[in-house]
Chain A
Amino acid sequence: MSAGGGLGGEATHGPNNRRSTVNRLSADNVTLAYDQRVIAEQLSVEIPDHSFTVIVGPNACGKSTLLRALSRMLKPAEGRVLLDGKAIQSMPPKKVARTLGLLPQSSIAPDGITVADLVGRGRYPHQGILRQWSAEDERVVRESMEQTGVAELADRYVDELSGGQRQRVWIAMALAQQTPLLLLDEPTTYLDIQHQIDVLDLCAELHEEQGRTLVAVLHDLNHAARYATHLIALRDGRVVAEGAPGDVVTAELVEEVFGLRCQVIDDPETGTPLVVPAARKARVKAAVTGAP
């Protein structure tokens, strides 16, 4: 995929052209805190519609916290997260769950559950006591499993799958939720490199072919630069830079955000920015000469 055409948000329609009223999901001056520990203050973020937005930053910069706030897991101490112009905390939970899906970092596959059953649980927000399992539910579950390539595993137990397969199953469950917005919290953690790429390719496919808005927190800056159409770089709870990776990822920015000296070259495969950390000698030398 090309990361150059990163302004998917521009394609949205609507009478008003100002982004803040057009984009479906945004954080408006939020202060995020766990108990007394403040992670971010007065943070404002827009998620461009139909973008594949990736949030990057060093450990403890608040990227997962921001994602939790965007998905209403964490109630902002101040400010609001807006979904379709309304404060997300005040909306009925099932209604939110039909618009915005989340693949969290920690999830538990119940003992003895099959792939098809687990994916089927993604239909919960569409169901009720009198509408427990419609033909529509069945179709969506089948399609979700086909899209994620787990259809052949439908009758297998989730706990006998490999890590990469299991992550696909969880993504299939989130897809079955049929939400135009999908948030993923470090979907590639604990996976081998080939499965990391596999999962990211799947995300890109969901974004490009189905026009879903994806928001992911990723650790690997090079993955982010390759797959994102919109990048948000955080440091200490502040947005340091945002925009298309081609515009945003520069040696200066990487040094500013991560404190790492590096070169940024063109990815030979995709032409997107590729971060190459400076050799140890060069970094040691810089540290010696740079610090008086």
Chain B
Amino acid sequence: MSTAPKQAPRAGTDAPARRRRASRALRTPGGLSVRLDVRALTVVVVLLAAALGAGVLLIGTGEFPISTGDVVRTLLGDGNPGQELVVIDMRLPRVLVALLVGASLGLGGALFQALSRNPLGSPDILGLSQGATAGALVVIVLVSGDARQVTLGALAGGLATGLAIYLLAWKRGVHGYRLVLVGIGMSAIMTAVNGYLLTKADMVDAARAVVWMTGSLSGRDWAQVWPLLALCAVLVPLVLGNGRALRMMEMGDDVSYALGVRVERVRLLLMLAAVLLTAAATAAAGPVSFVALTAPQLARRLTRSPGPNLLPSLCMGATLLVTADWTSQRVFGADQLPVGVVTGVLGGVYLLWLLVTERRAGRI
């Protein structure tokens, strides 16, 4: 109503507009238009470059160091046979697994956090990683299965946990806190199951289980790359295609219904995708901690954009994991320290920092 007196802004907020327009639109005469968030796009490009750069460094690192130039030359199909063996057959799969696992965890984490509308709604906290671990431990301890069976066990464990959380948390649409609380309960149960399985194991199995549980990339080969790559090739476009609907769902179920989003369908689809991504990543590399929790948060801080930030989170996850793996190899020597230890330390520090700053901002 135009005649009403404009109300005074609250104290301290009458600073002039300090925010640039979030996005720019590209339009064609034919009526097509695409919305581009320039900053988010820049973040994606920079992160991708960083991930690939760290990947090249990672390939060059190890017991037989190879110079960056030689690595790039070999990757482009121009290296000598010896370098080719080391680069293509031994180290490239590991880097690809790291990239794919990081990307899957980053995207899965962003999905969970958006669906639960809670920054703590990440697969680590919700018990999915623990569920996948339980699946893997069952195979290691009870049937002494081989690596492939362990992978399948972890996948099954993750999916079963995801299903259990879905069934327990869903009551006419899930509420963020409900999902997080059910997930924390699930996580506690699964941790107990894992502890029990470990006590049942003999020394050899227990050692193998502990290494698996830390999350490691060593010894990953092409057999791990292909299934992950196939899954990502299907799920990433599917998830990104539903990104706009997910963005609407941030505003609550009622608002998104009113805007014409098929809320339940989108939520079920994205939840399933997130569980699959997380379970597959965990099956390939073990429960690498904190990537799913921190990648979306860091991505959001870089893009400064509201919304689920799906693509930036994906790139951030890949960058984080490859960088963490390179750091651990560089600092502690080849295959001395599993990457999960590094992400755990980094992620833990980040979480504490988050808690402290949020507390200062009065939000916790």
A98 to B252, CA, bound (A): 19
Chain B, Cβ-Cβ closest to A179: B258
User: Quick check: is B82 within 8 A (CB to CB) of the other chain?
Assistant: no
User: Quick check: is A241 within 8 A (CB to CB) of the other chain?
Assistant: no
CB-based contact A124/B17 at 8 Å: no
A133 to B305, CA, bound (A): 17
Interface of chain B: mostly helix, strand, loop or mixed:
loop
User: Quick check: is A271 within 8 A (CB to CB) of the other chain?
Assistant: no
A125 to B13, CA, bound (A): 33
CB-based contact B255/A107 at 8 Å: yes
CB-based contact B257/A72 at 8 Å: yes
CB-based contact A156/B254 at 8 Å: no
User: Quick check: is A71 within 8 A (CB to CB) of the other chain?
Assistant: yes
Chain B residues 1 to 56 lying within 8 A of chain A, measured CB to CB, are 1-2, 4, 6-7, 9-10, 13, 17-19, 21-23, 25, 27, 31-35
- Contact among A121, A137, A155, A164 for B259, CB-based, below 8 A: A121
For B244, what are the chain A residues with a Cβ–Cβ distance below 8 Å? Answer: 124, 127, 129, 132
CB-CB under 8 A for A108 and B252, given A73-B257, A127-B244: yes
CB-based contact B33/A160 at 8 Å: no
- Contact among B2, B4, B7, B33 for A133, CB-based, below 8 A: B33
User: Quick check: is B81 within 8 A (CB to CB) of the other chain?
Assistant: no
CB-based contact A155/B19 at 8 Å: yes
User: Quick check: is A221 within 8 A (CB to CB) of the other chain?
Assistant: no
User: Quick check: is B207 within 8 A (CB to CB) of the other chain?
Assistant: no
A174 to B23, CA, bound (A): 21
User: Quick check: is A111 within 8 A (CB to CB) of the other chain?
Assistant: yes
User: Quick check: is B148 within 8 A (CB to CB) of the other chain?
Assistant: no
CB-based contact B260/A93 at 8 Å: yes
A92 to B261, CA, bound (A): 10
User: Quick check: is B94 within 8 A (CB to CB) of the other chain?
Assistant: no
User: Quick check: is A149 within 8 A (CB to CB) of the other chain?
Assistant: yes
For A73, what are the chain B residues with a Cβ–Cβ distance below 8 Å? Answer: 254, 257-258
A174 to B256, CA, bound (A): 11
Interface residue count on the A side (C-beta < 8 Å): 59
Chain A, Cβ-Cβ closest to B254: A104
For B250, what are the chain A residues with a Cβ–Cβ distance below 8 Å? Answer: 108, 110
A165 to B7, CA, bound (A): 8
CB-based contact A132/B25 at 8 Å: yes
CB-based contact A117/B306 at 8 Å: yes
CB-CB under 8 A for A112 and B304, given A134-B31, A202-B1: yes
Chain A residues 61 to 91 lying within 8 A of chain B, measured CB to CB, are 71-73
A205 to B18, CA, bound (A): 32
User: Min CB distance, B2 to chain A, in Å?
Assistant: 6
A110 to B22, CA, bound (A): 14
User: Min CB distance, B266 to chain A, in Å?
Assistant: 11
CB-based contact B252/A106 at 8 Å: yes
For A133, what are the chain B residues with a Cβ–Cβ distance below 8 Å? Answer: 23, 25, 27, 33-35
User: Min CB distance, B204 to chain A, in Å?
Assistant: 49
CB-based contact A138/B1 at 8 Å: no
A112 to B23, CA, bound (A): 14
Contact with B along A157-170 (1 / 0, CB 8 A): 10011101100000
For B259, what are the chain A residues with a Cβ–Cβ distance below 8 Å? Answer: 97, 121-122, 124-125, 177
Chain B residues 283 to 312 lying within 8 A of chain A, measured CB to CB, are 304-307
A149 to B4, CA, bound (A): 9
User: Quick check: is A225 within 8 A (CB to CB) of the other chain?
Assistant: no
For B178, what are the chain A residues with a Cβ–Cβ distance below 8 Å? Answer: none
User: Min CB distance, A147 to chain B, in Å?
Assistant: 9
User: Min CB distance, A214 to chain B, in Å?
Assistant: 14
For B27, what are the chain A residues with a Cβ–Cβ distance below 8 Å? Answer: 133-135
Question: Nearest 5 pairs between A and B by C-beta?
Answer: A97-B260, A155-B17, A104-B254, A94-B260, A102-B258
Extra contacts, 7 of them, besides A94-B260, A105-B254, A135-B33 (Cβ < 8 A), are: A103-B258, A108-B251, A108-B255, A121-B251, A124-B261, A161-B9, A164-B7
- 26 A-B interface contacts by CB (under 8 A): A73-B254, A93-B262, A96-B260, A97-B260, A102-B257, A102-B258, A104-B252, A108-B255, A110-B250, A111-B306, A127-B244, A133-B34, A133-B35, A134-B33, A135-B27, A135-B33, A152-B6, A154-B17, A156-B19, A160-B9, A160-B13, A162-B10, A174-B258, A198-B1, A201-B1, A202-B1
Listed in ascending order, the chain B residues whose CB lies under 8 Å from chain A are 1-2, 4, 6-7, 9-10, 13, 17-19, 21-23, 25, 27, 31-35, 117, 241, 244, 247-248, 250-252, 254-255, 257-262, 304-307
Listed in ascending order, the chain A residues whose CB lies under 8 Å from chain B are 71-73, 92-98, 101-114, 116-118, 121-122, 124-125, 127, 129-135, 137-138, 149, 152, 154-157, 160-162, 164-165, 174, 177, 195, 198, 201-202, 205
